[in-house]
Structure 1
Amino acid sequence: MDERTGRGTAATGRRGRRAGRSVRSAAALLAGGLVAAIAGAPAAAAAPVLATAAGDYPATVRIDTVSPRTAHENDTVTVTVTVANSGAEKLKSPTLKVRQPNQSRPMTARSELALVATRSTPSNTYDGVALDSPAPELGDLEPGQSRTVPVSLPVSALRAKETGSYELAVDVWGSTGDEKPHSLGIARTYLPFQGRTAAKPSEVAVVWPLTHTPVLVAQTMPDADQTPVLRDDSLAAELTGDGRLNRLVEIGATMPGLTWAIDPNLLDTVYAMTKAYRVQKPGTLGDSAREDNTVQGGGRDAATAWLAKLRQALSAPGTEVVSLPYADPDLASIAHNGAGLKGMDAALRKAVTAGQITTELRLSVDAHSDVAWPYQGWLDQRTAAVSAAAGGRVLLVNGDSMPESDKLSYTPGAARSIGNGQTAVVSDPVLAGPFQHDLAADSDRTAAEQRFLAESLAIAHQEPEHPRGLLVLPARALTVGTAQALHDAMQSASGNGGWVTPVTLQKVAEEKPDPNANADVPGTYPPEAAGSELSSAELAETMSLQDGVDQLLTILTQPERVRGSFGAAMVRAMSTEWRDRPQEGREYRAGVQRYLTNLKSAVRVPTKTMVTLPGDNATLLVSVKNDLTQSVGNLELRISSAQQNRLKIDYPIQPVVLDATTSRTFRFPAEAQVNGPVLVTAQLWTTGPNAQPYGEPVVFTVDVTSVASGVTYVIASGTVLMILAGVRFSLQRKKRRATGEADEDPDRPLDGAEGAPSDAEPPSGSGDTDRVAGDEKVDH
């Protein structure tokens, strides 16, 4: 496009916006006033409040406010301008001057708007001629000094007659030495003008996110109410006064046709705060919650009021509620690094279902749960597939993921059919770009609002009889300043302007897709976004928690006290919110893992090293301890000897049932064959068809010190005597038979002594000794 003739198309505008990416840093550095996001660059930050000037342009100029934002015939426009001396020399007698555009026609092509944003230094050719009036004097400015002044002029001075946007440029004239006064710096913005020509309004959907970094943890207090526990109390400050979430609800409540995108985990957390709740003390992230390591939370009143305020806002006619999956899991990270993990698909589906139930329950509204919002709207084929598996029928997409062809001469509608039953609703990167950042300063908000108004006006007049549905997708962590700017921009475009109609996301998503629009989902993911993803190791570690949780649940008599809290904590560990807070995310995941480990190890066999067994037949004593606050069962204790030939354990398996916070000792009969040490292993096992070891095995040494070997000698000698007696008796009978003698009384003593009493007591000794030795037992 030839800017001097004002002719161009949206195609050249696309090229102009792409060229603008490479120069936006210079524009911010030297111009310092036009805070405009170049198309396709949502990551570009707004210009600083006071940018550093350099070279021939030592003055930094910013436009703080424009009133009215949209001008009409016979209006007077007032611009508040701040000038700062960013150079090393005094600015002598500087004055402000407004440029009158060279062209008497407005900028109607988006390409023209883009080129204005790329200019960095004052230009008589493109910026027009400086008007002699108004020209307020600023007074000398020493290095580092700044001054703010208002400048008012009639709209007619800008030659504004036709509908469209006009460049509004203000520069500083003066000198730093003896040279003639000249331009020392410039700031530019846009002034939309609503003339007699009107167009059918574009339908614009705005997504209004309510999200927060997870603070609810898996722990609950060991009381009957299971009092919830938060890792910190930061959320309380956001729910009241000028807190971010409180202001978002207040601002959003005044916007018609708004689509609220809400993280159900936030609602659960706030609801928990409406009752008594506790907050972990520093350094106790993975510990079981107790009175001594937590403090009472202080946000009960704020949480109660905020929920009531939100319910009231959502009751407005035309309002739409989108329930994000519970805890807003990072779909892109899962797609790239965790899609094949065991249980991941099921976890995502549960997060979607639980999210919708939670949202509708906490807010008493109907909520859509078929909307997927990948991180910053970046989409690739794998992310789309994972979103589909989780039920994501509508995808919120950053326009830079699916850029339009240079050959397209207009801005198409946002809805695109991408196959697999999915619709991508693509956010226009220029309309949404400025709202991806924290617009805290007045100048930042003004620049974003004026750019939005100019761009949306240009879109409406591209095809005045064929309005399109558009999407504005702000940052997930929408700040108060940015929310206010988006509110004011939509209000001006739909109210005083009339070229925008606010509608819901569903309305835009259901529009017939433009066949000329780009519907190709890219196969690659931006490297700059991939760098902040959750890693394969982090996702695998999180999903592996489920096995430990499942095993813990099998032994609990009240598994419901643990099941829900751990399931939610696992999804929170994969939240998109950790993208911008990676260290906090790592700490949260470590806390969940540590807490699970603590719970599982609360049921254990206490460590022992040496047991002395002072006999061949004895009893081994092994204890099992339950430090949990509920009873456990479905367990058994198994004892095994490393050398069965030396130490045999009878009945080596015994069932284990323990009340809360108790310990029990189990008795295992053992039989030793020889003296010396033998290794014994004690291991808890779960019961049932899928029995598994529970906890770590405890290995200890059993030292056998006194096998009763004398018993063997007594038995052996007794046997020999009996044999000898039998031989003697047999020989005597043979002798008597040979001599013809009759047998004597067979019951008489073998010595045959006559006169020996028949009822004589046996001599004391071996008989009692055998009995005592055979019955000896030692408990240990």
Structure 2
Amino acid sequence: MAEAADNQGIGPSPARRWLRRTASLIIGAPLVAALLAVPAAPAAQAGVPAKTPTGSETVKVSLDTVSPSAPVKGDTLTVAGTVTNRGKDTITQAQVDLRVGSRLFGRTSIDTAAQRTGYVPGGDPAPLGGAYTVKFAKLRSGTSQDFTLSVPVDELDLGDDGVYQLGVSLTGQTAHAPYDHVLGIQRTFLPWQEEERDSRTKITYLWPLIASAHVTAETNSDDQQTPVFADDDLAAELAPGGRLEQMVSLGSQLPVTWVIDPDLLAGVDAMATGYRVKSGDTTVTGKNHAVAKKWLTSLEAAVSDSKVVALPFADPDLASLAHRGKNVSGALSHLQTATELAGSTVQTVLHVKPSTDFAWPVDGAIDPSIVDVATSAGAHKVIARSDSLEETGGLSYTPTAARPIGGGTTAVVSDARLSTAFEGDMSKAGSSTLAVQKFLALTLALSEQDTDEERSIVVAPQRMPTAAQAQSMATALHALDDGRWTKPLGLVEAAEAKPDSDATTTIPRSSQYPKKLRSQELPTQAFQDIKSTQVSLNNFQVILTQPERVVSPFGNAVNRSMSTSWRGRPLEAQQYRDSVRTYLQSLVNEVQIISKSDVTLSGRSATIPVTVQNRLLQGVDHLVLRLKSENATRLNLNDGGAVAERPIRIAAGHSQSVKFDAAANVNGQVQMTAQLYTEDGTPYGGEMHFTVKVSEVTPTVLLVIAGGLLLLVLAGIRMYTQRKRANADGTDGDNGGEPEQPSDPTPDTSPESRAPSDSGEKVER
């Protein structure tokens, strides 16, 4: 009845309406609550502030200076830095203290200590206190204060020679914790050795001069073939304060082995003598000649009495070649070329004879295939790293770097801890100081290892250190100048050192190669692109009268396409390869057959001209132009054949018109194909097609023409007779004849001729 009443427009009773409203509220309440709760959660979450450091991490302690880095008896140790309050509360009665821990034994204990953070009650030593403190009445939230602590080394109570942990802490009070407690601490290491050791560790430190590729395959059109750079970014690295300038300036004062990419030298030498820089679709004159000259002069002086190792030209990626490239035919031949070019480039630019017997895979990571590729170009020494060629014999000490790995090859194993010591951000003084102190501590701990013989240790840092990293490395090496526990050694001598009989010589399997490094390798497609470019270059150079003007710049560009510097930059690597291939193709296209319009033959025989254009800046030779008739029955070439050939030789910037004899047999159209070939039969460039329209003169037509000629002759005789009679009668006679007929139109092909065309005409560019 209720439904009937509603349908009839009669409203429900008051009691029923109350029941409905109550039910709706009960049912809808959870939904409303849910809707309100959904946006509330993110809002609350967005309002939560980042976690504020508390406890012993409230204050950040930065150690910017530890001087001297490795003190001796009688020195005064100075530790300077900054404390920063990262907490919410103001710190009162703040005091900065110096803490000296107990001696650490072994490099593992140094690694463990370096990972500790925060204050450990009972684990950290007591502060020196006394006069060796710095106090601040207040340290407000977010503010920093500098400090300097100086203490005589004799007051540190150092015992036996070795590595000691050194800490700087800040103690104070806050409103929430009104009592003295440690609010921040930073630890470092203090190497301690009073006198020179009887047995010192030989340290070989590699000093790499390597840069990314900047030179393109393009050269200017002048006689000097001025190289064209993709950009002028290299100048910033060579300028005062730049990365490469710092490497030379710092390295000149250090006992290091220079490891140089010859491509860098070639590029800077080009800058010094004249270069151009790409700017959109054109090039502009480079302006940093003076910077390049100064850098080269400084480098030549720095290496004059030093050991120099030359990597293969452009520092090819050995791992990429081994894992992705060696199955692409011709890839390994580029490594051989790059190795041969290395020595001559260094000698020409720096006037020193380098060693070219070393291969340096990325991060010293090796496997059997990498070693095979590295030695395929003549290298007999491979710079590996101890985290790749790990010790498995349970040695209690670090063995000498050199060790035989079979086939007459020596692995020179660099120490992973020391080689990676300066890979972080060294632009901040605090980070640099900690890295330097740890490096020194590790070298001293290594020298203290239980062995009776002197060992040779190699340090191979990152390939392209930043300026800040180079400065940190130099600081660490200068701290070893006094030679208390180390002495310098060149890489060549380190490779010739007597190997440790107990050291590992087993090359790790390919499956053990680091996945991160493998993911950064050049893809197989890169080597296929390089192969394609090389094939085009080979076909192009054989037609040139001066092939060396093309072979050298493109050969170097191909080597750069395999450079280790492309790791982590796949897009830039692809763009560089594409630019080399595109520019080469543009040069190839400068020698081409000029498109030809259709030809009409109005006789049995004629000549067909085909024009070849050379827009290059040098002559071309050893080319053959082949013309082919697709219907030799209708139109044949070369005394009855379907194909005719003519040798091509054209001067720079000229074109040549080549004439082919043709004989027509049947009326109609014939498709013709013109194609250039090198002398070995390889097609050069694309085909050019055109049509020949044959209009052969038939016997019937000849009869008609003969009849017409006969009529003309008879008409002429009649006219002559009439004139003669008129003259005889003494009267002028009209010639009565028809006007002279125009001659047949001249055909667009010349009569049959075998005379060669002239040497060519100048091409307007």
Which residue number corresponds to residue 657 of structure 1?
649
Q: Which letter does structure 2 place at the counterpart of 1:684?
A: L
C-alpha separation between the residues in 2 aligned to 1:711 and 1:538?
A: 67
Unpaired stretches in structure 1, ≥5 consecutive residues: 1-50, 285-292, 719-768
Which residue number corresponds to residue 29 of structure 1?
none
Q: Is residue 617–residue 776 contact of structure 1 (8 Å, CA) maintained in 2? A: no
Which residue number corresponds to residue 502 of structure 2?
516
Q: Secondary structure at the match of 2:135?
A: coil
Q: C-alpha deviations, 1:106-140, integer Å up to 9, x for none?
A: 21321221110121221123222234343323454
Q: Is residue 668–residue 693 contact of structure 2 (8 Å, CA) maintained in 1? A: yes
Which residue number corresponds to residue 686 of structure 1?
678
Q: Which letter does structure 1 place at the counterpart of 2:649?
A: V
Q: Which letter does structure 2 place at the counterpart of 1:294?
A: T
C-alpha separation between the residues in 2 aligned to 1:100 and 1:315?
A: 44
Which residue number corresponds to residue 295 of structure 1?
284
Q: Is residue 432–residue 472 contact of structure 2 (8 Å, CA) maintained in 1? A: yes
Question: How much has 1:396 moved relative to structure 2?
Answer: 1.2
Which residue number corresponds to residue 266 of structure 2?
268
- Is residue 2:299 matched to residue 1:310? yes
Q: C-alpha deviations, 1:133-171, integer Å up to 9, x for none?
A: 433234544444333221223435543121111111112
Q: Is residue 393–residue 504 contact of structure 2 (8 Å, CA) maintained in 1? A: no
Which residue number corresponds to residue 397 of structure 1?
384
Question: How much has 1:218 moved relative to structure 2?
Answer: 2.3
C-alpha separation between the residues in 1 aligned to 2:497 and 2:477?
A: 21
Q: Secondary structure at the match of 2:297?
A: helix
Which residue number corresponds to residue 21 of structure 1?
none
Q: Is residue 53–residue 60 contact of structure 1 (8 Å, CA) maintained in 2? A: no
Q: Secondary structure at the match of 2:372?
A: helix
Q: Is residue 602–residue 747 contact of structure 2 (8 Å, CA) maintained in 1? A: no
C-alpha separation between the residues in 2 aligned to 1:170 and 1:271?
A: 49
Q: Secondary structure at the match of 1:435?
A: coil
C-alpha separation between the residues in 2 aligned to 1:612 and 1:169?
A: 98
Q: Is residue 600–residue 748 contact of structure 2 (8 Å, CA) maintained in 1? A: no
Q: C-alpha deviations, 1:632-658, integer Å up to 9, x for none?
A: 111121122333334434462222221
Query: Which among 542, 546, 555 is matched to residue 567 of structure 1?
Result: 555
Q: Which moved more, 1:77-86 or 1:557-566?
A: 77-86
TM-score normalized by the length of structure 1: 0.79
C-alpha separation between the residues in 1 aligned to 2:578 and 2:115?
A: 47
- Is residue 2:127 matched to residue 1:130? yes
Query: Which among 318, 325, 340 is matched to residue 338 of structure 1?
Result: 325
Which residue number corresponds to residue 501 of structure 1?
487
In structure 2, do the counterparts of structure 1 residues 406 and 514 end up closer, same or farther at CA, with 3 Å as the change threshold?
closer
C-alpha separation between the residues in 1 aligned to 2:462 and 2:148?
A: 32
Question: How much has 1:395 moved relative to structure 2?
Answer: 1.3
- Is residue 2:367 matched to residue 1:380? yes
Q: Is residue 73–residue 161 contact of structure 1 (8 Å, CA) maintained in 2? A: no
Q: Is residue 622–residue 649 contact of structure 2 (8 Å, CA) maintained in 1? A: yes
Which residue number corresponds to residue 120 of structure 1?
117
Query: Which among 649, 659, 663 is matched to residue 667 of structure 1?
Result: 659
Q: Secondary structure at the match of 2:542?
A: helix
C-alpha separation between the residues in 2 aligned to 1:432 and 1:84?
A: 32
In structure 2, do the counterparts of structure 1 residues 615 and 173 end up closer, same or farther at CA, with 3 Å as the change threshold?
farther
Greater relative contact order, per chain length (Cα 8 Å cut-off, separation 6+):
1
Q: Which letter does structure 1 place at the counterpart of 2:189?
A: Y
Which residue number corresponds to residue 254 of structure 1?
253
Q: Secondary structure at the match of 1:577?
A: helix
Which residue number corresponds to residue 335 of structure 2?
348
Q: C-alpha deviations, 1:18-41, integer Å up to 9, x for none?
A: xxxxxxxxxxxxxxxxxxxxxxxx
In structure 2, do the counterparts of structure 1 residues 701 and 172 end up closer, same or farther at CA, with 3 Å as the change threshold?
farther
TM-score normalized by the length of structure 2: 0.81
Q: C-alpha deviations, 1:664-702, integer Å up to 9, x for none?
A: 223334445555544322111111xx2211011123344
C-alpha separation between the residues in 2 aligned to 1:166 and 1:52?
A: 34
Q: Which letter does structure 1 place at the counterpart of 2:279?
A: K
C-alpha separation between the residues in 2 aligned to 1:52 and 1:566?
A: 57
C-alpha separation between the residues in 2 aligned to 1:611 and 1:230?
A: 47
Which residue number corresponds to residue 685 of structure 2?
695
Q: Which letter does structure 2 place at the counterpart of 1:658?
A: I
Which residue number corresponds to residue 106 of structure 2?
109
Q: C-alpha deviations, 1:701-756, integer Å up to 9, x for none?
A: 4455x4445646849999xxxxxxxxxxxxxxxxxxxxxxxxxxxxxxxxxxxxxx
C-alpha separation between the residues in 2 aligned to 1:436 and 1:212?
A: 17
Q: Is residue 63–residue 82 contact of structure 1 (8 Å, CA) maintained in 2? A: yes
Question: How much has 1:74 moved relative to structure 2?
Answer: 4.0
Unpaired stretches in structure 2, ≥5 consecutive residues: 1-49, 708-740, 751-765
Q: Secondary structure at the match of 1:431?
A: helix
Q: Is residue 85–residue 143 contact of structure 1 (8 Å, CA) maintained in 2? A: yes
C-alpha separation between the residues in 2 aligned to 1:113 and 1:411?
A: 15
Q: Which moved more, 1:57-66 or 1:668-677?
A: 668-677
Within a 5 Å distance, the mapping from 1:139-150 to structure 2 comes to 140-150=138-148
In structure 2, do the counterparts of structure 1 residues 710 and 238 end up closer, same or farther at CA, with 3 Å as the change threshold?
same
C-alpha separation between the residues in 2 aligned to 1:667 and 1:452?
A: 78
Which residue number corresponds to residue 198 of structure 1?
197
- Is residue 2:525 matched to residue 1:537? yes
C-alpha separation between the residues in 1 aligned to 2:99 and 2:484?
A: 27
Question: How much has 1:405 moved relative to structure 2?
Answer: 3.3
Q: C-alpha deviations, 1:29-74, integer Å up to 9, x for none?
A: xxxxxxxxxxxxxxxxxxxxxx997454232222111011112234
Which residue number corresponds to residue 183 of structure 1?
182
Question: How much has 1:515 moved relative to structure 2?
Answer: 1.8
Question: How much has 1:386 moved relative to structure 2?
Answer: 0.5
CA RMSD of aligned residues (A): 2.8
Q: Is residue 163–residue 196 contact of structure 1 (8 Å, CA) maintained in 2? A: no
Q: Which letter does structure 2 place at the counterpart of 1:459?
A: L
In structure 2, do the counterparts of structure 1 residues 135 and 635 end up closer, same or farther at CA, with 3 Å as the change threshold?
same
C-alpha separation between the residues in 2 aligned to 1:67 and 1:458?
A: 20
C-alpha separation between the residues in 2 aligned to 1:52 and 1:382?
A: 50
In structure 2, do the counterparts of structure 1 residues 89 and 699 end up closer, same or farther at CA, with 3 Å as the change threshold?
farther
C-alpha separation between the residues in 2 aligned to 1:76 and 1:240?
A: 37
In structure 2, do the counterparts of structure 1 residues 699 and 88 end up closer, same or farther at CA, with 3 Å as the change threshold?
farther
C-alpha separation between the residues in 2 aligned to 1:261 and 1:579?
A: 19
Question: How much has 1:537 moved relative to structure 2?
Answer: 0.8
C-alpha separation between the residues in 2 aligned to 1:255 and 1:702?
A: 78
Q: Which letter does structure 2 place at the counterpart of 1:502?
A: P
Q: Which letter does structure 1 place at the counterpart of 2:95?
A: T
Q: Is residue 617–residue 778 contact of structure 1 (8 Å, CA) maintained in 2? A: no
C-alpha separation between the residues in 2 aligned to 1:672 and 1:714?
A: 20
Which residue number corresponds to residue 751 of structure 1?
none
Q: Is residue 52–residue 88 contact of structure 2 (8 Å, CA) maintained in 1? A: no
Which residue number corresponds to residue 420 of structure 1?
407
Q: Which letter does structure 1 place at the counterpart of 2:577?
A: R
- Is residue 2:594 matched to residue 1:606? yes
- Is residue 2:47 matched to residue 1:61? no
Question: How much has 1:77 moved relative to structure 2?
Answer: 1.6
C-alpha separation between the residues in 2 aligned to 1:528 and 1:614?
A: 73
Which residue number corresponds to residue 627 of structure 1?
615
Q: Percent identity?
A: 37
In structure 2, do the counterparts of structure 1 residues 60 and 607 end up closer, same or farther at CA, with 3 Å as the change threshold?
farther
Q: Is residue 69–residue 437 contact of structure 2 (8 Å, CA) maintained in 1? A: yes
Q: Is residue 368–residue 507 contact of structure 2 (8 Å, CA) maintained in 1? A: yes
Q: Which letter does structure 1 place at the counterpart of 2:268?
A: V
